[in-house]
Amino acid sequence: MRRQIITNWKIIAIILMIGILACVLDEPIFGEVAVGENAINITVKADDLVFHYQKESFWNEDQFSKIIKDKDKFKRDQIERFDECMPKGIYATNQKIEFNESRRSTTLRCDVHKAISKSGDRYTAEFEWLLDPLGLDFIDDNFIESKRGLSWEGYINGILTDIMVELPPQDIVYKAWQHLIGHCHKHAWWIEVSR
């Protein structure tokens, strides 16, 4: 009986160790194949009241060959997924998907409307549409602040992700909670600067 209890505890310990290793390594165990992008580069550029959005996804050879076999379905699925992330009132136009076989990458480009508002010379931008699907937050995830916007690099679900939010260049850094030019968790604001 005692030997059975010790054996059961050993089995439980082994299972727990495998689970912990899976979390720490953030990689598949027992030969599972990871599905999805290998790396992602996202650029969002403010242009008056419109954001120009670009997401370049990099794939391994096997993944990319599957995508190329049915480009039309891939395009529809990617655009549909992106549109589903838009909060009420915010929408995308000019969506297109480009394929780069030498880089094994796909790029979604579009314009995002109604995410930037203007009152006088002050602009306010909403970023829930960008940050919520990624599980990110400008402050809690330590986006790097600069005079040209906010940026972040890290792993999301094991995928190396690089994000650049390009805002109108200012004379001071876009700092959290700063008046006139700054940001909060999911918004940014700035003033019109004549250059």
Q: Tens digits of per-residue pLDDT, 91-139? A: 999 999 999 999 999 999 999 999 999 999 999 999 999 999 999 999 9
Q: How many CA atoms lie within 13 A of 80 on its CB side?
A: 6
Torsion of CA 140, 52, 134, 146, to 10 degrees: -20
In tens, the pLDDT along 146-192 reads 999 999 999 999 999 999 999 999 999 999 999 999 999 999 999 98
The predicted structure's pLDDT at residue 27: 37
In tens, the pLDDT along 36-89 reads 789 999 999 999 999 999 999 999 999 999 999 999 999 999 999 999 999 999
What tokens appear for 113 in the block? 């409307």
∠ CA(70), CA(38), CA(53), 5° rounding? 75
What tokens appear for 1 in the block? 């009986």
The predicted structure's pLDDT at residue 9: 52
Amino acid in the structure at residue 120:
G
Delimit the domains of the chain by residue range: 1-32, 39-191
**What is the distance between the alpha carbons of residues 38 and 138, in angstroms, rounded to a whole number?**
23
The predicted structure's pLDDT at residue 4: 61
82: left (phi over 0), alpha (psi -120 to 50) or beta: alpha
Strand 159-166 versus strand 116-119 pairing type:
unpaired
pTM of the predicted structure, to 2 decimals: 0.80
Least confident stretch, 6-10, 20-24, 144-148, 175-179: 20-24
**What is the distance between the alpha carbons of residues 108 and 70, in angstroms, rounded to a whole number?**
16
In three-state secondary structure terms, 182 is strand
